[in-house]
Chain A
Amino acid sequence: MLEIKNLHVKLEEEDKQILKGVDLTVEAGKVHAIMGPNGSGKSTLSYVLSGKDGYEVTEGAASLDGEDILDMEPEERAAAGLFLAFQYPVEIPGVGNMTFLRTAVNAQRKARGEEEMSAAEFLKVVRERAKTLKIDADMLKRPVNVGFSGGEKKRNEILQMAMLEPKMCILDETDSGLDVDAMKLVSEGVNALRSEGRAFLVITHYQRLLDHIKPDVVHIMANGRIVKTGGPELALEVEQNGYADILAEAV
Chain B
Amino acid sequence: MALPQAKIDATDARLAGMDLPQGGWPAECRADALARVQAMGLPGRRDEYWKYTNPETLISAEVPQAALFDPQEPAMFDGVDRLKIVFVDGVFDADRSDDLSGEHLTIDRLADVANLDLHWAKDAYGTLEAKGQSPVQRPLAALNTAFATDGVLIHVTGAVSKPVNLIYEHSAVNSDAILHHVVKLEAGASLTILENGPAAARFNKVLEAFVADGAALNHIRTQGRDHERRAVTHMFAELGAESTFKTFTLTANGVLTRNECIVWLNGDEGVAHVAGACVGDGDFHHDDTVFITHDAVNCESRQVFKKVLRNGATGVFQGKILVKPDAQKTDGYQISQSLLLDDDSQFLAKPELEIYADDVACSHGSTSGAIDEEALYYLRSRGVPQGEATDLLTLAFLGEAVDEIEDRDLGEMIVERLQGWLTRHRR
Contact = CB atoms under 8 A, between A and B. Distances in A.
Interface of A: 50-53, 73-75, 77-79, 83-84, 86, 89-90, 92-95, 99-100, 103-105, 107-108, 111, 143, 160, 164
A78 B378 contact: no
A107 B393 contact: no
B353 interface: no
Nearest to A145: B378
Interface of B: 372-375, 377-386, 388-389, 392-393, 395-397, 399-400
Contacts of B388: 103, 107
B396 A104 contact: no
Given A78-B383, A108-B383, A95 B396 contact: yes
A111 B388 CA distance: 13
A92 B383 contact: no
Contacts, number: 78
Contacts of B378: 86, 89-90, 92
Contacts of A90: 372, 374-375, 377-378
Contacts of B389: 75
27 contacts: A51-B377, A53-B373, A73-B380, A74-B380, A75-B384, A75-B386, A78-B380, A83-B381, A83-B382, A86-B378, A90-B374, A90-B377, A92-B372, A92-B375, A92-B379, A92-B393, A93-B396, A94-B396, A94-B400, A99-B392, A100-B379, A100-B384, A104-B382, A104-B383, A108-B382, A108-B383, A111-B383
Nearest to B402: A94
B157 to A, nearest CB: 40
Contacts of A77: 381
B412 to A, nearest CB: 13
Nearest to A111: B383
Nearest to A103: B384
A51 B392 contact: no
Per CB-CB distance, the 8 closest pairs between chain A and chain B, nearest first, are A94-B396, A78-B383, A108-B383, A74-B380, A104-B382, A90-B378, A94-B399, A75-B380
A19 B381 CA distance: 21
A52 B386 CA distance: 13
A75 B400 contact: no
B243 to A, nearest CB: 30
A104 B374 CA distance: 16
A83 B382 CA distance: 7
Contacts of A111: 383, 385
Given A53-B373, A95-B392, A75 B383 contact: yes
Nearest to A88: B374
B396 A50 contact: no
Contacts of A79: 383
A202 to B, nearest CB: 18
Contacts of B384: 75, 100, 103-104, 107
Given A75-B385, A89-B378, A92-B372, 5 more contacts: A51-B377, A90-B372, A94-B400, A105-B383, A111-B385
Contacts of B377: 51-53, 74, 90
Contacts of B392: 95, 99-100, 103
Nearest to A105: B383
A51 B380 contact: yes
A104 B379 contact: yes
A160 B381 CA distance: 11
